[in-house]
Amino acid sequence: MEIHDRALRVVQRLLAERGIRTHRHHTISLGLFASRAAEPPSPDKPVSWWTERHPPELAVIGARGGREATVTMGPRSGSYLLSLRDGSDLLAVRSEHPEQVVALIVAARRS
């Protein structure tokens, strides 16, 4: 996950240089499993829990404050995955080319 975060920071910096606002999101799911509500927890029936980290995402914010695009990283491929507000297909860009992600976002904002 840290590698993905670093890759998204590169795109975030390149977008900031062009005056485009972004926000990186980190999501963690937390689940709790307990015995029935009528039964108080006890040492022989401990409360169990789980956490799950989701890959970070970079939200591109438009002039009116809405989300114009979302950039994530492919879990296995290491490619940037770009989703544009216009609902076009998910675009994959190799991680070696963050400038291409920026160019696609800039082009989408102009249209």
Here the CATH number for the domain that contains residue 103 is 3.30.160
Q: Where are the beta strands (DSSP E) in 14-87?
A: 21-25, 28-33, 48-53, 57-61, 67-73, 80-84
Give the model's pLDDT for residue 84: 94
- Domain containing residue 17: 2-26+55-110
Q: pTM of the full predicted structure? A: 0.78
Give the model's pLDDT for residue 76: 76
Domains held by the chain: number:
1
Question: 64 in a domain, yes or no?
Answer: yes
Give the model's pLDDT for residue 46: 64
Question: 43 in a domain, yes or no?
Answer: no
Give the model's pLDDT for residue 32: 76
Give the model's pLDDT for residue 87: 79
Which segments of the chain have a pLDDT < 70? 34-47
Q: What is the spatial distance between Cα 73 and Cα 11, in angstroms, rounded to a whole number?
A: 11
Q: What is the spatial distance between Cα 63 and Cα 70, in angstroms, rounded to a whole number?
A: 15
Q: Virtual CA dihedral for 84, 58, 4, 31, nearest 10 degrees?
A: -110
Question: 99 in a domain, yes or no?
Answer: yes
